[in-house]
Amino acid sequence: MKITIRTTVESDYRQVWAGFTRDLFDALSPPFPPVRVVRFDGCLRGDVVHLELNFLFFRQNWISQIIDQQELPDEIFFIDQGTRLPFFLSYWHHKHRIIRKGKGTVIADEIHFRTPSRLTDFLLYPLMYAQFAYRIPIYRKYFRK
């Protein structure tokens, strides 16, 4: 399944890139499930992000590795790919694009995910979409001039 969410913010794209820190990562975490950051290396190739998701009666680890990061003339991007995923996911590939648009920036989250079955792909899609749509007002607030 593929999800793409684009958010326009007022800041310059290089300022937005500089703001992709642990503080932003913490701000973007949704209220459920609660997330404990076990490890956050950053957003550069080779970095690792390890999360523990708390589903009240059980916990799940989510470990992703940054497999690519590039700076282009009008865009900076990085890609995290899941290496250890919660039981309900079998594949995770998330491209974070920071695209110059005039004096502002478009932040594009391009997510490809799979679950163990096509049926659960469709059932999980609205929840996954909501988790990333949740970020839109946070990005806008965080990257105000």
Model confidence, pTM: 0.92
- SS3 readout for the chain: CEEEEEEEECCCHHHHHHCCCHHHHHHHCCCCCCEEEEEECCCCCCCEEEEEEECCCCEEEEEEEEEEEEEECCEEEEEEEEEECCCCCCEEEEEEEEEEECCEEEEEEEEEEECCCHHHHHHHHHHHHHHHHCHHHHHHHHCCC
What pLDDT sits at residue 116? 95
Tens digit of each residue's pLDDT (9 = 90 or more) over 64-82: 999 999 999 999 999 999 9
Is the pLDDT score of 47 beyond 70?
yes
What pLDDT sits at residue 145? 61
Q: Which domains does the chain have, with CATH numbers?
A: 2-142 (3.30.530.20)
